[in-house]
A and B are shown apart, each in its own frame.
Chain A
Amino acid sequence: MQTKELLGLYQKDVKEGIRIGKIQIIISFFYSFFLIGIFSVYLPLLATGVGKNHITTIVLSLINYMPFIVIFSMMFLGNSLIQNLIAREKTKKTILPLLCLGIKPRTFWLSKLISVFTISFVSAMISIFIIVFIVLFLDYGAIVSHVRLIILNIVFIPLFPLFFMGLSGLLYMISLKFWPVSLLFMTIPFFLLPYWNKIILKNIFLVIGLVIIGILLIALTGYLAGRVSREQLSGVFEQT
């Protein structure tokens, strides 16, 4: 394991990711709160009507949609950033000096993965803390009764987008032609949306099951990343 090399690359990738991903970070916040507004506050209010219990409705909707916000925010930011970081390494050929310094494909993949995970996780957690703050302000008791869900958000849910970031990174290491796949991954939260309240949230075991499958798939992706050849990773023969 190239620990020191990984640390150096990780620090570089976080700095570079934040600097090149400012617009994606802003978009991610904007959409997170826009979606919260539309799907978790406006639509329920429209359905139930504005009455005495509208604060309770808003609070519950906000809490229920927290996992969705985490997944959406991390899927969008993580996939777009990992795609951007790897594409830059390949098109600007910065990968070549790294390969000459002995960086292994798996170290390269891991560094990209944990750096974009860090950025997207922090970004998602900022959204979550804003929601928690709003809920605390509206109904303190609701937070206490939903501690389990909040912990689920922070600990388990991020592992699900982590797998897609890892897969996206792996595909990009093989070829930049896989860019539509990352776009596809970014749309996954929208497929989840209609079933969110009805099925997924009521089925904690389904969520945990998905997370366990996610962890196994991350390990498999990591194994495959180590099998990518230096030739594929260098991108020397890719049309750029």
Chain B
Amino acid sequence: MKGENKKMKYSIYIDNLSKKYGKLTALNDITLGIEKGEFFGLIGPNGAGKTTLIMLVLGIIKPSKGVIKVNGVNPISEFSKISKKIGVILDYHALYDELSPLENLELYSQITYGFKNTNKIKELLSFVDLWERKDDRIREFSKGMKQRVAIAGAIICNPSILIMDEPLNGLDPESHKMITDLLIEVNKERQMTIFLTSHNLHDVERLCSKVAIIKNGYIIKHDYVSNLKKAHSKKIFLINLLEKNSQVKTEQKIRKNEYLKKMYWKDNNNFIIELKDKVYLNSFIQELLNKQIHINEIKEVNNTLEDVYLEIIQNEVG
């Protein structure tokens, strides 16, 4: 009963999931829980198993072992119970190029509602700012515009879960901002659970509350972004000097410090240091003072998800 309650809070629940293709193991004993309304990111190198995991969640392919529950049901054997409750957006903007945005959405509307829900279509094309271009062919659109149509198509059925495979790839900055804003709005205001894979870790850090890092078919980390950043703090500090010193002389003095891992200048008065451990900060400062380097201010620099990811991936053997 307790286990059932635990499953109920998840939109997507995966337990000991494995997928093999002949001798190749694409996914190995994956266990994950994505809570309702969560913006979840799955990150990992190419070939790590991200797309395979998405296909399993969508019920397109069958697992070799383990359990998947989407909204509490098995997406393979009971797909009819969750169809129209999952929206999907892919990096190749799965749209009919020879049709217009209006015709694409009419198809999804007809399948979802049994008729062409013109009010809904107008609302969504206006939401993605493409109502004015509703009759143009998709093939004439830029990648960003296509992706906006794909978002409108994916949410026409008011899904509770939105699954996106690399949705922000290759977008120009304007489209990129527009789409990330749309996704935030979809997650917050429409309260959809979002499962996203991306290589752009800045996007994942901005959008997702929780992430899982996948490598060679294994989930090697799964936690809140904030927790990961804390746990993998690189002990980086910004030091502001009280007076202007010679950079060369100051650097010579600092570099001899046994607690220092890395340092570089940000400008004439500020430099960044990375210590071997956070606990050495006081000793490091004391040593600077002993060497007549006077400090005005010390700030802890937040490391990014990219720093954390690279550290985890590089330290992971295999």
Residues of B bordering A, CB below 8 Å: 21, 51, 55, 58-62, 79-80, 83-84, 86-88, 90, 92, 94-99, 103, 106-112, 114-115, 153-154, 157
Contacts and interface: CB of A to CB of B under 8 A. Distances in A.
B229 to A, nearest CB: 33
B112 A101 contact: yes
B98 A8 contact: no
A20 to B, nearest CB: 6
Interface in A8-42: 8-9, 11-12, 15-16, 19-20
A54 interface: no
Contact of B61 (A92, A93, A94, A231): A231
A96 interface: yes
Contact of B98 (A11, A20, A98): A20
B157 A101 contact: yes
Contact of B84 (A20, A92, A101): A101
Ranked 4 nearest A-B pairs via Cβ: A8-B110, A102-B83, A4-B114, A19-B98
User: Which has the most chain A C-beta neighbours within 10 Å: B62, B83, B96, B112?
Assistant: B96
Nearest to B79: A102
B90 A231 contact: no
A11 B103 CA distance: 10
A103 B59 CA distance: 13
Nearest to B97: A92
A92 B92 contact: yes
B291 to A, nearest CB: 62
23 contacts: A4-B111, A7-B110, A8-B107, A8-B110, A11-B106, A12-B107, A19-B99, A20-B98, A94-B94, A96-B58, A97-B108, A100-B58, A100-B84, A101-B108, A101-B112, A102-B79, A102-B80, A230-B60, A230-B61, A231-B60, A231-B61, A234-B61, A236-B61
Nearest to A229: B62
Given A11-B110, A99-B58, A236-B61, A93 B157 contact: no
Contacts of B88: 96-97, 100
A93 B94 contact: yes
Contacts of A5: 110-111
B157 to A, nearest CB: 7
Contact of A96 (B62, B84, B94, B103): B94
Nearest to B109: A8
